[in-house]
Amino acid sequence: MHMAMATKLRAISSFICNKCAGNLTPSPNYPPTPKQTRGESELAKALFSVTGMTDSTCAVPVEKTINGLPGIHEAVVDVLSNRAQVLYYPSLINEERIRETIEKVGFQATLIKDDTNERSTQVCKIRISGMTCTSCSSTIESALKAISGVQNAQVALATEKAEVHYNPKFVSYSQLLQVIEETGFEGTLISSGDNINKIELKVDGVDTDHSLNMIEKSLQVLPGVQEVEIYPELSKVSISYEPDMAGPRTFISVIESTGSGNFKATIYPREGEETGRQQEIKQYYKFFVWSLVFTIPVFLTSMVFMYIPGTKMVLDTKLVNMMTVGMMLRWELSTPVQFIIGRRFYIGAYKALSHGSANMDVLIALGTNSAYFYSVYSVLRAAYSKDFKGTDFFETSSMLISFILLGKYLEVLAKGKTSEAIAKLMDLAPETAVLLTLDDEGNVISEQEIDSRLVQKNDVIKIIPGAKVAADGYVLWGESHVNESMITGEAKAVAKMNGDKVIGGTVNENGVLRIKATRVGSDSALSQIVQLVESAQMAKAPVQKFTDRISKYFVPLVIMLSFSTWLAWFLAGRFHSYPKSWIPSSMSSFELALQFGISVMVIACPCALGLATPTAVMVGTGVGASQGVLIKGGQALESAHKVNCIIFDKTGTLTVGKPVVVDTQLLKNMELREFYVLIAAIEVNSEHPLAKAIVTYAKKFVEDKENPAWPAAQDFISITGNGVKAIVQNKEIIVGNKSLMLDQNIAIPAGAEDILAQAESMAQTGILVSIDREVAGVLAISDPLKPGAQEVISILKSMKIKSIVVTGDNWGTANAIAKEVGIETVIAEAKPEDKAKKVREFQTAGYTMAMVGDGINDSPALVAADVGMAIGAGTDIAIETADIVLMKSNLEDVITAIDLSRKTFSRIRLNYIWALGYNMLGIPIAAGVIFPFTGFRLPPWIAGAAMAASSVSVVCSSLLLKYYKRPHKLNNMDLHGIQIE
């Protein structure tokens, strides 16, 4: 099963670049001191003018990139005013570094002035119980959005969760919970705040309010503690904190010392969504069983025993006037079902009606009450009359409730299986960790086994062979091989030694390792992925708006149809508009009309409509994760199935992304060593893959290859998409493409032109090097195609999807690469803003665009595209701005993402056809439309069973997506894209 989950986390290695593991080596300024993090005097504010942004999508990569820098407190970009406000710590970063970072994304930035703080936003996640259909979720969503300070609220029926974006200056999460409860539902806080860890501790020995106050105050004064919540009835303390400054073991120590040894604190037992789901399943099962205990005798006395001579005589025995033993027995047995077991439907209906809405509970309450109270009327009238021959429908109300409870039981059972992806992800984390205590010389003083949730930042953890890595960090001591299949999908273990990074949840195979924890709790890579998958399952697909609109009018319309059905049949019977032979011998015309009306009311099912989209999205995103494709919600799924044109970045996307220098041609009389030392001194300041390739090659010419001492580069300037320039050893060095040289008015010799043309014809990138404004040499850099690239483009063509390659590289190299993979349309020498512009041009031409890229310079295009797909091994910013992350970095997964999206939306359409078709077909049959022609009518209890079955069938239909298989053409390719005979 772990192998099935393996491909979920391919992107972690890139996520942890900025978020999870940072540099993975100790820094003198990291972790920050309390003053750096919390001190208001250290917090500075800067306002930048940002030009080049065309719409709101451009703000996302700017914000994400700035927020990923060390020392940034908050960054907010306003496209309307073309400004970016940044709150930062001057001891860790300066304004110039921030400005340069904005320009690296592809926009021009100018410092304006310091400014005041803008509103901050927090995200609160709440579990909601008691929702039955989309009417419930819409009511809660509307109530939350109406609160001052709430910027956005999403309530998901399938996951039974709410995600609220709010301003803590205007509203608190406790107020959000209160509004949910006032709406008639129960809300439980899951998490509040961004990037803040939360730990729950069980405290024994607390017996007074004074003790609780002591514990709360002791915890609140600790550095890094954000919030402390006390739950006296549960003996639970919930603490939100910053992991850089505090940790759970510190809290336990403080609690136990506060009570002079009287208090004992431990990690609160694991209670999560799965526990709540199991309790709900058990509750529905219990209600259903008790309902059967009473309903079966009611059914037998009304439907079976009446046809057995002996029992019929006993049941027909008159007690008072025309009231029989059978009537009285059915009344007594059905009453507990109606008012005790069915109490939840009354409560749900009251809550809905009190807030001006109507849900499924309203239909059930009206339908069962109509049958029950008419039956009571019949029994009482029979008791006071000597000639009344009425019929009771106690079996109708009892069987209705029993079947509906059975349906809800099967529904929650099936819904639990739609979120298995989250549970399997959580299972990857180890239960325990071995904590080491070291002396100043690094010798082990003691070791202790602790709960893995107690691991704090900078802890040293021992990982024995066969054990899971307990936290994200790096190796301090030891050598081993670690199975990272949960991240890479590759079964081959990766060698680890001193300084290498490790990821929590991976498995150590053969050696003992000591690691230093760098990211723990909600900051860990595994937690980040869990949060992303949860957010994906929360996000609504645009197609769901259709259901939300229907849900507002569905129940009132059904009630009107039900009443109209009863009235039509009642008047028809009253005026003898149909033969008396149509009326069953045991009924009157009024009772026949009543049965038709009740059947219409209970057969209509708003639940099936409400579950059609979210359950399919949940299963689809979970399956995507298991296939190595992280789809960020319903919007991405819906857009991906419409894609008919894909733009591929070249470097790192179509190519391997690890370029190497393959040829050097000097045009000036100088040593090769001197030449490479000069250009390495400038390129070491660049993050571009080509620059890294040059620096790696230059290390061959120096003695200390591990830590080479390059000359200092002064006045370094990076020209995005073109190259770099600086002063090295009093020489002006410019390294870049042909466009850069022409822009700098540097003449390009004919010999250099020939070398460039030859390199480009071989799909190599030609780099020109100018020393003191004279071209001194040409480098040829090769970045081989990814295995299987040609096959992927071919399959996309067969799927009627147009492919385009876009790159900042020269036209010659771009055309050579495109020809090799089979792409006809090429866009070369494109700057980041040019890529986004091209995406918009194709969108204007009527294409639904996908962009596949891996770098910061791809971010504007990833955001501009209808669907942005980030290669998993790419940069953190590319992954953050993308709609879909291809976690294995395989191009084949582009096809998997689109095919899965098409299959998911095909399933959603099928769900809607089933749900709508069921109601459109079932309601007329229940209303008796075909009764005059066929004599067939739908008794209310059968209508109720059909209603219960409809929502279960929709969930089961979505669950069939779990058996999704990649397209057959991809199955004929191995992991490296090589055809298998």
Residues in the chain: 981
Mapped onto helix, strand or coil, the DSSP state of residue 506 is coil
SS (H, E, C) 551-595: HHHHHHHHHHHHHHHHHHHHHHHHCCCCCHHHCCCCCCHHHHHHH
Strand 645-649 to 660-666 pairing: unpaired
Q: Is the dihedral of CA 509, 515, 517, 519 positive or negative?
A: negative
Q: Spot the catalytic one: 244, 392, 523, 649.
A: 649
Alpha carbon distance 180, 178 (integer Å)? 5
- Return the domain boundaries, the chain: 44-112, 118-192, 275-424, 431-521, 542-617+902-963, 628-655+785-899, 660-782
Alpha carbon distance 814, 737 (integer Å)? 13
899 is catalytic: no
Place of tokens 């089979």: 822
Topology classification of domain 628-655+785-899: Rossmann fold (3.40.50)
Beta-sheet strand order (sheet of 197-204): 225-231, 236-241, 197-204, 264-267
The closest alpha carbon to 509, from 452, 467, 449, belongs to: 467
Is the overall model pTM greater than 0.75, yes or no? no
What is the model's pLDDT at position 5?
38
Strand 645-649 to 849-853 pairing: parallel
What is the model's pLDDT at position 644?
92
Mapped onto helix, strand or coil, the DSSP state of residue 735 is strand
Alpha carbon distance 267, 196 (integer Å)? 18
CATH class of 431-521: mainly beta
Quick one: the chain helix, strand, coil %, rounded to 5? Answer: 50, 20, 30
Query: Treating both helix axes as pointing N-terminal to C-terminal, what angle do 544-574 and 606-626 enclose, rounded to 10 degrees?
Result: 150
Number of H helices, E strands in the chain: 35, 36
Place of tokens 């490479």: 676
For residue 210 the two structure tokens come to: 């004074």
Q: How far is CA 951 from CA 357, 404, 408, 417, in A?
A: 21, 10, 9, 15
Query: Treating both helix axes as pointing N-terminal to C-terminal, what angle do 394-418 and 940-959 enclose, rounded to 10 degrees?
Result: 0
Asked, colleague to colleague, whether 431-521 and 628-655+785-899 share their fold, the answer is no
Which segments of 725-788 does DSSP mark as H helices, in order? 738-743, 750-761
Rounded to 5 degrees, φ, ψ at 441 are -95, 5
Beta-sheet strand order (sheet of 122-129): 150-156, 161-166, 122-129, 186-192
Alpha carbon distance 342, 411 (integer Å)? 17
Q: Which residues of the chain have pLDDT under 70?
A: 1-43, 54-57, 79-81, 91, 113-121, 158, 191-196, 259-261, 270-277, 390, 414-427, 485-492, 522, 528-542, 544, 548, 551, 586, 855-857, 873-881, 968-981
Q: How far is CA 209 from CA 204, 236, 262, in A?
A: 14, 13, 15
Topology classification of domain 118-192: Alpha-Beta Plaits (3.30.70)
Q: How far is CA 592 from CA 91, 393, 923, 945, in A?
A: 82, 11, 16, 19
Strand 731-736 to 765-771 pairing: antiparallel
Query: What CATH number should be reported for the domain whose range is 44-112?
Result: 3.30.70.100
Q: Domain 660-782, CATH 3.40.1110.10 — does that match?
A: yes
The closest alpha carbon to 64, from 105, 33, 10, belongs to: 105
